[in-house]
Amino acid sequence: MGRMTALLPRGGGLLLLLFLLRPLPFLLPGSAGLRLLLSDSSPFNCSQLGLKCVVKNSTCMDESWVHSSVLTPSAPSTVDVHLDIFQDKEGKLLPVLQIQWMVATDASIRSFRGVELTVLQVNDNRQICTWFDFQNNLMLQAPPGGGRWNFTFNRFEVQPGQMYHVTVYHLPKLGIQGDHNRKSKEYKVPDCEDKRMRRTTPCVQMGSLWEPSIDGKHLEDGSVLVSFNPGKEPARYQIHVTGFLDKKICMDTTQEVPKVTTLPIASLLKPDKVLPPHSRGVPTWGKPISTTEQLLILRTIHKVCR
Ligand SMILES: *[C@@H]1O[C@H](CO)[C@@H](O)[C@H](O)[C@H]1NC(C)=O
Ligand SMILES: *[C@@H]1O[C@H](CO)[C@@H](O)[C@H](O)[C@H]1NC(C)=O
Ligand SMILES: *[C@@H]1O[C@H](CO)[C@@H](O)[C@H](O)[C@H]1NC(C)=O
């Protein structure tokens, strides 16, 4: 997350650009990346009228890989993958894949014993699976209530901005040469800029709802006072200040702010009280001026630029 602002200080000639960057650790607390949400949330019910079905953990190695069956069902006729938001027991809003597929309307439905769903996270090749274990055989090509046999599953938690490869296998798998009874789909999860993703827990932890209100003030002695509003979640920040003189960059500095958790309540300090003695180009930390503000004082900018 980056935010910027520009200001023209009085006394002329110097333009400052301030960037506020929030470095993102790859895996954030509370965001486990690719994960199957079976045990830590309300049970998923894959049964429907005419079919008793149980969702189980899977090793991604259905036994039909090893013991091939004589008759196997057809591949799904369609597979669709969308974004869904799942609220877990703790009230966290988690981005999940909504996987929907249709069963082919043919007699192979009689040998349809279950489904293996595989999700591969492309960036690190991590793969997890789940298994729909059918407790009875489907005897009708179409469900008693009309329409087509179709299924939906939305318990694979995914990461913002990542690419996934989703495969739906109808079980038992085909053990011989022939038309494989699986269908795959690629899906890229929108990043935290997306309207629906913004309010999910992993995006909020990355600062998607954060209003930093970054500001810079030019002080009498030529230093710059930078203030901003830290996000609600503990995080580290990076501040980048660029000075321009006669349209040329004359000063460029980057400073990392140590992890800010909660700031102590302090009375408003006059900037001159926190100004340390001049020392060329070394940024110094000021003191918090309120519960939501942190001051960074960068000194000797004029000297560097002249
Ligand atoms: C699961 O869904 C089926 C069909 O909609 C329903 O008959 C059954 O009661 C549900 N089971 C549970 C545990 O909710
Ligand atoms: C799935 O496996 C996890 C551990 O990997 C376990 O905690 C959980 O209870 C299992 N869930 C089901 C539905 O078997
Ligand atoms: C999908 O299945 C449901 C029952 O679970 C059914 O009501 C619906 O019509 C089916 N959709 C299609 C497109 O056949």
31-58 pLDDT tens trace: 458 999 987 667 899 999 889 999 999 9
Measure 188 CA to ligand 3 centroid, in angstroms. Answer: 26
Give the span between the Cα atoms of 176 and 235, in whole angstroms.
54
At 83, is the secondary structure helix, strand, or coil?
strand
State the pTM of this model: 0.74
* Whole-number pLDDT of residue 100: 98
3-state secondary structure 175-235: CCCCCCCEEEEEEECCCCCCCCHHHCHHHHHCCCCCCCCCEEEECCCCCEEEEECCCCCCE
* Whole-number pLDDT of residue 300: 42
Residue 12: which pLDDT band, with cuts at 50, 70 and 90?
very low
Q: What is the dihedral of CA 124, 37, 26, 79, to 10 degrees?
A: 50
Any ligand 3 atom below 6 A from CB of 147: yes
Q: List pLDDT tens digits, range 203-261.
A: 888 778 777 677 777 667 666 667 777 666 666 677 777 777 777 777 777 766 665 54
147: left (phi over 0), alpha (psi -120 to 50) or beta: left
**129-152 mean pLDDT:** 92
**3-20 mean pLDDT:** 47
CA-based torsion, 192, 196, 199, 202: positive or negative:
negative
Residue 287: which pLDDT band, with cuts at 50, 70 and 90?
very low
The fraction of the chain above a pLDDT of 70, given in percent, is 64
CATH class name, domain 35-186: mainly beta
Q: Within 6 Å (CB) of ligand 2, which residues are found?
A: 38-39, 56-57
Give the span between the Cα atoms of 288 and 290, in whole angstroms.
6
Q: Which of 77, 99, 148, 149 maximizes ligand 3 atoms within 8 Å of its Cβ, making it the mutation to test the pocket?
A: 148
Least confident stretch, 6-10, 85-89, 197-201: 6-10
- Asked whether the predicted pLDDT for residue 96 surpasses 60, the reply is yes
Measure 38 CA to ligand 2 centroid, in angstroms. Answer: 7
Provide the β-strand partners of residue 218: 224
Measure 42 CA to ligand 3 centroid, in angstroms. Answer: 23
Q: Which residue's CA lies nearest to atom 1 of ligand 2?
A: 57
Measure 150 CA to ligand 3 centroid, in angstroms. Answer: 6
**125-151 mean pLDDT:** 92
Residues 6+ positions from 234 with CB-CB distance below 8 Å: 259, 260, 261
Any ligand 3 atom below 6 A from CB of 144: no
Atom of ligand 1 nearest to the CA of 43: 13
CATH 2.60.40.2160 location in the chain: 35-186
